[in-house]
Amino acid sequence: MTATDAFTDPDALGPRIARVTTLAGDSAWLITRYDDVKAVLADLRFGRSHRDPEQAARVSSSMILGGPSGEFDSEDAERVRMRRLVGPAFSARRMAALQPRIAGIVDDLLDAMFTGTPPVDLHEAVSFPLPALVICELLGVPYADRDDFRRWSDDVGNLLDLQRSMSGLDNLWRYMRGLVEAKAAQPEDDVLSLLLTTPHEGVTMTPDEAAMLGAGLLFAGHETTVTAIDGGMVQLLTHPEQRAALRADPALIDGAVEEILRSSRKDLGELDERRQGLLRYAREDVEFAGVTIAEGDLVLLGLRTANRDGARFQQAEQFDVTRAPNPHLSFGFGPRFCLGAPLARLELRELFGALRRRPDLQLAVPVAELRPRRDLLTGGLEALPVTWMM
């Protein structure tokens, strides 16, 4: 089978499946259409582990989602166990309890930003610290450690430097291990303590496991949300009519959050699925759209391209805060659907809701001058300079 390189035109949906070369220089299948991406996400013949991890094709050097993870024989059981253990951390009760705290963090960050003299860098002032503060709050990580945490988290997600990614993960893990010791001695009302004290089928987690899960949550919950905030801000700042509609009608906030999550910009490199495609390995031979995906083959799922599939979304290219329904795949789908989705939605809702009541922001530089963070798994911007009328 010959397949074309889908990256000659990232906007065209192209063939249902294409052969591409990853950042690591390995071969992968790329799937970009909405129905196909959703079907593969729901299909347990595709997983994250590999029977022979040393030989597996890699997406990148990143230690997280750069290559296979977990044990091939126990992946399914482990996924179920992990989700049962971590799920309660994002319960409706816990989210309701966090809401006023998140609203307070948002207000503090915006107060500090608006006392500055414009232009200010919104990425530094809000996009980075908000999810960091929230995840620290959820897990019970002291915010005073944020600078270390930021460096390690950036290191783990580095796509090009395996050594850096490994040492980032190691540092994050050591840090969490120390914190877990402290929580084990004196449990508090936070998720690390919950992980340590809640038994699953009669067995509680070991401190090592809790530390690994904690490090995973820090990572999963941080850069992804930073990127969503940066991306959402750029969309609102470059669509004044959508911003005005949202400012005029508070009822639009939930729809705006979903559209922020769905939307992506080609000019900021967000449609390069070789970097940002979600990884799966075929656990057995699978017939797909006329080709055989062989057991062990790497498959990249283009969530962002799927979110722009005109067969599923009318006027998919447009940013429309009134779009309904909006069944985007930004949090994945099926057995691995993002556990932190309620938290991410809450953060975005509080932030973009609060901005409605603040001075109207403008981009302080042309969009073409915004620089995407190309070496990072989750993308986002180097800086987001904004200004406002004093």
Residues that bind ligand HEM (CB under 6 A): 79, 83, 86, 135, 217, 220-221, 224-225, 228, 278, 330-332, 336, 338-340, 343-344
Q: Which is nearer to ligand HEM, 158 or 330 (CB)?
A: 330
Q: Which is nearer to ligand HEM, 275 or 364 (CB)?
A: 275
CB of 2 to ligand HEM, least distance (A): 29
CB of 221 to ligand HEM, least distance (A): 3
Q: Token digits for 99?
A: 């809401």
Q: Which is nearer to ligand HEM, 353 or 364 (CB)?
A: 353
Q: Which is nearer to ligand HEM, 224 or 305 (CB)?
A: 224
Q: In 3-state terms, what secondary structure has residue 315?
A: coil
Q: How far apart are CA 43 and CA 36, in angstroms?
A: 11
Q: Which is nearer to ligand HEM, 168 or 332 (CB)?
A: 332
Residues forming beta bridges with residue 145, ordered by sequence position: none
CB of 6 to ligand HEM, least distance (A): 20
Q: Which is nearer to ligand HEM, 190 or 364 (CB)?
A: 190
Q: Token digits for 289?
A: 């759209």
CB of 387 to ligand HEM, least distance (A): 26
Q: Do residues 36 and 289 lie in contact, with contact meaning Cβ atoms separated by under 8 Å?
A: yes
- From residue 225, alpha-carbon distances to 5, 87, 123, 326 in Å are 30, 19, 12, 19
CB of 225 to ligand HEM, least distance (A): 4
Q: Output 19-25 pairs: Cβ under 8 A, ≥24 positions apart.
A: 20/274, 20/300, 21/274, 22/57, 22/58, 22/59, 22/60, 22/274, 22/298, 22/300, 23/59, 23/60, 23/61, 23/159, 23/160, 23/274, 23/275, 24/57, 24/58, 24/59, 24/60, 24/61, 24/66, 24/67
Tell me which residue of 286, 323, 340, 283 sits closest to 31, measured CA to CA: 286
Q: How far apart are CA 226 and CA 130, in angstroms?
A: 8
Q: Which is nearer to ligand HEM, 340 or 364 (CB)?
A: 340
Residues 6+ apart with CB under 8 A from 316: 307, 308, 309, 310
Give the ranges where 186-308 is alpha helix by DSSP (H).
191-197, 207-238, 240-248, 253-262, 273-276, 303-306
Cβ-closest position to ligand HEM: 340
Q: Do residues 361 and 274 lie in contact, with contact meaning Cβ atoms separated by under 8 Å?
A: no
Element (H, E) at 298: strand 298-301
CB of 278 to ligand HEM, least distance (A): 5
Q: Token digits for 376?
A: 């990072």
CB of 217 to ligand HEM, least distance (A): 5
Q: Which is nearer to ligand HEM, 86 or 159 (CB)?
A: 86
CB of 149 to ligand HEM, least distance (A): 13
